[in-house]
Structure 1
Amino acid sequence: MKDETLLLIDKKEGLGEEFSKLVSMMNYTRDTTLDEVRELTVEELDYLYDDDANSIGMLLAHMVSVEKVYQILTFENREFTEEDIQMVNPAMDLGAPAREQIKGNPIEYYLAALEETRQHTIETFKKLPDSWLFEQQPFWWDLPANNYFKWFHVFEDELSHRGQIRIIKKMMSKVKN
């Protein structure tokens, strides 16, 4: 059964007003992503429609890595270490290394990683004032960006990859039929 507040951009327990809005949107995005993948088999998660493709499993691992990257960028406000790069790759960069290494995992593996990473995000959000969302630093193209935009980008990236997941599922269904 769906959370009855899923379609409300509204106050969330333990969060300020602005964080509540952000988390409301992140929750809807995640719920719709999970609806697309929850029942997939390992074979479906690993399906590659061509030699250069990303699998659904790779895209789910990428979502986890993106969120971890933004945790480092915004919560820790620091540059990446070699250890950080090792932690988020090959899922962050995708490509051939990800195709070789991200496979053979059941959906529970990806769901647990998504949940654990998101829990860390939400618990950290609960410790921050809403004003933190509006703090600015130079970002892409050396333009100013605030933390609100950076976290919008986390779920915007997920939405984009969820679209890819839907396309991959359609392609798989044509191969099966």
Structure 2
Amino acid sequence: MLNMDDIYLITDMPGYTPQVGRLLSMMNYARHTTLEAVKGLTQEQLDYLLDARSNSIGGLLMHFAAVEYAYQVSTFEDRRLSDEELAEWGAALELGDAGREKLKNFGLDYYLGKLETVRQRTCDLFRTVDDNWLYEQEEFWYGKQANRYFMWFHVFEDEINHRGQIRLIRNRLPGD
């Protein structure tokens, strides 16, 4: 899915309207850097906790997939997650104690598969909308208006923010 020849270009992408394609190219770059940050990690490294209140790298990877999935549901289906979806994604959305309890004992391929599946769905959904869709507004945080462009910017902004945590944790792994 990631075209490594164009990873440093924020540009139009075939099959997408101009702004949607540029947004997706930014999301793809953010994902590329995340994948580089976790390359080669073992299950034990993915589960490592710096302290009793920290998140694991695996938990953060699931958080990325969960946030993206939640924004798919919110922006494309105009609804909240169902109870069934919350059972699957809730711990990853919230992290904290629930994340530490449930998001462990999975290998890197598990997390990468979740990320890929969710991203492929995002790509498919983005093909169904145009640039005007990005600019549609609705109530967002704290009663403020936001457009879908901002909402989807937040999806990869959140990933970039937490990727910093991943790099910090990786630098503190025992034996490294």
**What TM-score bracket applies, with the shorter chain setting the length?**
over 0.9
- Cα RMSD (Å) of the superposition? 1.4
TM-score, normalised relative to structure 1: 0.95
Q: Residue 96 in 1 paired to residue 97 in 2?
A: yes
Tell me, which stretches of 5 or more residues in structure 1 are unaligned?
none
Shift of 1:90: 0.8
Give secondary structure in 1 for the equivalent of 2:93: coil
Structure 2: gaps spanning 5 or more residues: none
Counterpart mapping for 1:32-111 below 5 A = 32-111=33-112
**In structure 1, how many angstroms separate the alpha carbons of the residues matched to 2:126 and 2:120?**
10
Distance 1:65 1:148 in 2: 19
Residue in structure 2 matched with residue 157 of structure 1 by the alignment: 158
Secondary structure of the 1:90 match is: helix
**Counterpart amino acid of residue 135 in structure 1:** E
Shift of 1:63: 0.5
1:69 & 1:2 partners in 2: Cα distance?
Answer: 25
Alpha-carbon distance in structure 2 between the residues aligned to 1:45 and 1:163: 15
Normalising to structure 2: TM-score of the pair? 0.95
State the match for 1:6 in structure 2: 7
2:31 aligned with 1:30, yes or no?
yes
Q: Deviations over 1:18-50 (max 9, x none)?
A: 001101100100000000112100011000111
Q: Measure the CA separation in 2 of the matches of 1:82 and 1:104.
A: 24
Partner of 1:176: 175
Q: For 2:79 and 2:151, locate their aligned partners in 1 and report how far apart those are by CA, in whole Å.
A: 14
For residue 2 of structure 1, report the CA deviation from its aligned partner: 6.9
Q: Report how many residues are paired.
A: 175
Matching residue of 1:148: 149
Change (3 A) 1:111 1:86: same
Amino-acid identity (%): 45
